[in-house]
């Protein structure tokens, strides 16, 4: 046998061995094939995966958020997903009282933070802190599963070996301390790179969860394309209206936000895009069940600060139960500023008077709704895009001069820059609706 032929045979053997190893990792699956004594586990029957809780099939009809658990249960939801352990004891206790299961998040630094993942002291401190949390709450009846990191990036490069070592050590600790509850992690969209690296480098995760917004319509297609190496169970842990990065923007980069009425329509449309016919699908959590500042204080918020519900809550009730709510939030069409819409790139003079107007559908009696206007600094620019502002921007409400109708007169701030005017419509049945328009104050 010639030397060249021997070399070729060796190369062929290495390639075949590599494929065998890859196949082994791809086929490795932590899901059970027979009923378990565990409190929560995933059962595989052929190509179908089913989540079991307390011996019964459990399909997740969930929301990602921070509270409003009574309303969640009332409209047909059964699960709340969190991102960290803030107020976890109170949340679990209330969830048990209201009949809600909890996906408890364990927050992690980004994978590309070498100052953390190469520091053994910090890693040990984190490991022991999370060990204490897992041991404290592993027996809580409301706990459904653990979420180890949110929107984690799983890179290819060898230089991230410290991250993978730390992640797998945490994962093993959770499984050792709490074999009764699965562990998952969330990624952005059905990203092939992340899923492949999870399969090869983090094979002991029980399932993958996906945060997806504008690309939800492509999810079923993407999952089919990934099925050659990943056929495991999954759930969607964030879905809803388009993110600000997916919407049309003004000339100065401010994303244009839909009205709450339009968002409710979008939720209904998007619900039909969830991969409910996929035998691996374990359920989904809409976003955001609560009130938060992220780009605006209304973009994701399905509730107001005082607990009123938006029309999206009614949409979720229909999605989860097939029943229409007896009452609906005030229906709003759009807002005009100086006679223009947000897509018109509204440029205004400083320290000058203008008018904003909200156009609404028929609302019945004229005294059945209350309009509250706000003029705020724009929250569209930050030095580090990965560190969003979670504090409502400064307001200029002293510049507002409301009319007794659906209009408001306002004076623009004296400083050049981006701003946004908001209106919130409250009714007497505990609902609210929102609209806002960005504008730019331009000095001569």
Q: Where in the chain is the domain with CATH 3.20.20.80?
A: 27-321
Overall fold of domain 332-441: Immunoglobulin-like (2.60.40)
Tokens of 247: 């919407």
Yes or no: say if 38 and 180 are a contact pair by the CB < 8 Å rule: yes
CA distance 123 to 30: 26
Class of domain 27-321: alpha beta
Q: What stretches in the chain show pLDDT beneath 70?
A: 1-29, 363-367, 380-388, 404
Angle at CA of residue 243, ends 239 and 244, nearest 5°: 170
**CA angle in degrees (0–180, nearest 5) for 189-193-197:** 115
Domain with CATH 2.60.40.10 in the chain: 332-441
Which residues, including other chains, have CB under 8 Å from residue 54's CB and lie 6 or more apart?
A: 39, 40
Q: Is the peptide bond before 156 cis (omega within 30 degrees of 0)?
A: no
Which pLDDT does position 3 carry in this prediction? 65
Give the residue among 70, 77, 89 at the shortest CA–CA distance from 143.
89
Model's pTM, two decimal places?
0.91
Burial class (CB in 10 A: 0-12, 13-18, 19+), 322: exposed
């Amino acid at each position: 046998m010639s030397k060249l032929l021997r070399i070729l045979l060796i190369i062929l053997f290495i390639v075949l061995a590599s494929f065998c190893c890859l196949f082994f990792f791809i086929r490795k699956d932590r899901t059970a094939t027979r009923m378990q004594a565990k409190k929560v586990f995933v059962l595989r029957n052929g190509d179908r995966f089913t989540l079991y809780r307390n011996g019964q099939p459990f399909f997740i009809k969930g929301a990602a958020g921070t509270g409003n658990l009574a309303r969640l249960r009332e409209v047909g939801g059964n699960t709340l997903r969190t991102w960290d352990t803030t107020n976890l004891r109170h949340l679990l206790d209330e969830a048990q009282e209201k009949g809600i299961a909890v996906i408890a998040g364990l927050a992690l630094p980004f994978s590309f933070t070498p100052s953390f993942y190469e520091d053994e002291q910090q890693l040990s401190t984190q490991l022991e802190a999370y060990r204490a949390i897992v041991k404290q709450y592993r027996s809580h009846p409301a706990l459904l599963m653990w979420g180890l990191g949110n929107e984690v990036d799983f890179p290819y490069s060898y230089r991230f070996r410290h991250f993978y070592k730390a992640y797998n050590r945490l994962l093993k600790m959770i499984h050792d301390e709490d074999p009764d509850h699965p562990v998952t992690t969330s990624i952005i969209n059905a990203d092939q790179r992340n899923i492949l690296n999870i399969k090869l480098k983090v094979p002991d995760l029980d399932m993958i969860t996906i945060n997806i917004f504008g690309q939800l319509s492509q999810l079923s297609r993407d999952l089919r394309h990934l099925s050659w190496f990943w056929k495991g169970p999954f759930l969607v842990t964030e879905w809803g209206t388009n993110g600000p990065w997916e919407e049309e923007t003004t000339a100065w980069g401010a994303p244009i936000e839909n009205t709450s009425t339009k968002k409710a329509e979008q939720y209904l449309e998007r619900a039909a895009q969830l991969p409910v016919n996929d035998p691996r699908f374990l359920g989904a959590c809409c976003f955001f069940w609560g009130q938060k500042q992220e780009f605006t204080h209304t973009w994701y918020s399905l509730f107001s600060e005082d607990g009123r519900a938006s029309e999206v809550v009614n949409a979720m009730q229909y999605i989860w139960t097939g029943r229409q709510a007896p009452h609906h939030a005030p229906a709003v069409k759009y807002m005009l500023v100086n006679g223009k819409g947000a897509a018109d790139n509204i440029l205004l003079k400083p320290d000058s008077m203008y008018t904003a107007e909200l156009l609404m559908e028929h609302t019945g009696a004229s005294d059945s709704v209350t309009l509250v206007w706000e003029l705020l600094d724009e929250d569209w620019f930050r030095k580090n895009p990965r560190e969003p502002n979670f504090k409502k921007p400064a307001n200029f409400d002293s510049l507002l001069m409301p009319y007794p109708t659906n209009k408001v007169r306002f004076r623009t701030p004296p400083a050049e820059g981006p701003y946004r005017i908001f209106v919130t419509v409250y009714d007497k049945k505990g609902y609210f609706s929102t609209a806002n328009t960005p504008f730019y104050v331009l000095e001569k």
